[in-house]
Amino acid sequence: MPEAAQIGFQPAHRIGLLIVSLLLVGLVLELVRRRRFKERYALLWLAASGFVLLVGLVPSLVVWFAGILHVQFLTVFFALSFIFLLGLVLSFSVVISQLSDQNRELAQEVGLLENRISRLEKNDGG
């Protein structure tokens, strides 16, 4: 099995991954602090940055995992990226479904309140 440095994980790449990971963690935490980001979404992004941090610290782990699966290490990155994006889309789909249901319920409540107000106005004026 090739070493991590032989397949492209030079020290500069590792440092770059560590910097990107730390910046992502800082950005996510700042967005949560400013209430621009919900905690449930932050966990997904923190997990992704944790994975990038792990790869930056121990790049041979990806090489080892790719060796077990008998695939190239870039395939592992693409597969994990695809799984992450699939989870993100699934998470957003759940939220959109919930918001759609809440929107329908609110529209029904507004319709009922408008009907009640119009009946009260008729009774009050008559």
Phi first, then psi: what are they for 59, rounded to 5°? -65, -25
Indicate whether 2 pLDDT > 70. no
For position 8, what pLDDT does the model report?
58
Distance between CA 123 and CA 117 in Å, rounded? 10
**Torsion sign (Cα): 84, 89, 94, 95:** positive
The H helix count followed by the E strand count for the chain is: 4, 0
- Predicted structure pTM score: 0.67
Tens digits of residue pLDDT in 23-65: 999 999 999 999 998 888 888 888 888 888 888 888 888 888 8
Q: Which two tokens stand for residue 96?
A: 């959109």
For position 126, what pLDDT does the model report?
56
Tens digits of residue pLDDT in 77-86: 888 889 988 9
Distance between CA 10 and CA 71 in Å, rounded? 21
